[in-house]
Chains A and B, each alone.
Chain A
Amino acid sequence: MNLWLGLILASAAVYSWKLIGFLIPTKSLKHPRIADLAALITVALLSGLVGVQTLVSNSKIELDARLPAVLVAITLVLFRAPFIVIVCAAALVAALLRVWF
């Protein structure tokens, strides 16, 4: 498969999800049960991303500098720190831990 063809196919495939989501009639989605499912799925997917990005690398579970960094982030979230502070603090903690150990 040609690399450009792969790039175009993959981009179109991802865009198709987005467009399908927007083309489903919104009326059917005003139903509370459907809105509830959509909210639950959003939380589930974002939480899944947190889990994978904190503890998984190359399909293996790995304890490394990311975990303490995320724990710092959670602490800062609890103290209602601004978003950018949370993100930068996590990067700093992970980077420093990797320099020191």
Chain B
Amino acid sequence: MRTSNVHTLSLSVGIATGLYGISFGALAVASGLDIWQTCFLSLFMFSGGSQFAFIGVLGSGGLLSLPAAVLSAWLLGVRNGFYAVNMSALLGSLGLKRPIAAQLAIDESAAVALSREGDEKSKGFWLTGSYVFIFWNLLTLVGALLGSSIGDPKVWGLDAAAAAAFVALVWPRLRGSRMRLTGFLSVLVAIVSSPYVPIGVPILLAGAVAVLVWLLPERAKA
């Protein structure tokens, strides 16, 4: 990934992620939320994985599945806590900006921040977090308005685009055999466990892989 300019990178990530918001908006409406409820999720939950899990569970089971939808969103949101820990250490003292930074602690902002060096780390976090927030919310609204006319994100290849975005974001982090081992095992564990555990849990099991690798002696650190 060419990363010559942190502003360009942040904007690219913001737009790419935002585009996925169109499908979220459309799918949320299809799952039974109205336009306001859909926009509420993008504004206040603001975590793609949790949002998709929420409407996915809700769409498959209706109001009866609401507690499960809440739980899935919560489980999938735990990784935001880890990003927040990481970002908190990286951003230093924030004062009143802390609750705002917390809301922006998502996959994309953390990944961009960690892919940069020096003071561009904090710049990358704020820029990417802000751009993703703006485009994600704008395009959620667009998607909700388009409603079921765009319907299945698969037709547009948007599901593959999301996977590709995470590939591009994680790749620069796979330096050294320890990180590569973690990446490989995490992919494997997440895929293989998926049929047997509730939505959201495979990602948590992948996180558990990191803890196991962490507990191993650091011989192989490159």
Contact = CB atoms under 8 A, between A and B. Distances in A.
Contacts of A15: 44-45, 102-103
Interface in A19-47: 19-24, 26, 29-30, 33, 35-47
Contacts, number: 312
A47 B190 contact: yes
Interface residues of A, number: 75
Given A10-B74, A92-B157, A17 B80 contact: yes
B217 to A, nearest CB: 12
Nearest to A72: B164
Contacts of B29: none
A62 to B, nearest CB: 10
B85 to A, nearest CB: 4
A46 B170 contact: yes
A91 B156 contact: yes
A80 B172 CA distance: 10
Interface in B47-87: 47, 49-50, 54, 63, 66-67, 69-70, 73-74, 77-87
The DSSP consensus for interface residues of chain B is helix
Contacts of A41: 79, 82, 207, 210-211
B167 interface: yes
B158 interface: yes
Contacts of B208: 44
Range class of the B interface residue count: 35 or more
B206 interface: yes
B161 interface: yes
Nearest to B47: A14
Contacts of A69: 157, 160-161, 163-164
B155 A95 contact: yes
A81 B194 contact: no
Contacts of B99: 19, 22
Interface in B157-183: 157-171, 173-174, 178-179, 182-183
Contacts of B184: 47
Interface in A71-100: 72-74, 77, 80-84, 86-96, 98
Nearest to B15: A84
B160 A48 contact: no
A96 to B, nearest CB: 8
B138 interface: no
Interface of A: 1, 3-4, 6-11, 13-15, 17-24, 26, 29-30, 33, 35-57, 59-61, 65-66, 69-70, 72-74, 77, 80-84, 86-96, 98
26 contacts: A6-B66, A14-B45, A18-B84, A19-B99, A24-B85, A26-B89, A44-B182, A44-B208, A44-B213, A47-B170, A48-B189, A50-B167, A51-B189, A54-B160, A56-B202, A59-B195, A65-B157, A73-B168, A74-B167, A74-B171, A83-B165, A88-B16, A90-B160, A91-B156, A98-B155, A98-B157
Q: Which 9 A-B pairs have the closest CB atoms?
A: A21-B84, A48-B206, A90-B164, A94-B157, A94-B160, A17-B81, A14-B77, A95-B157, A73-B164
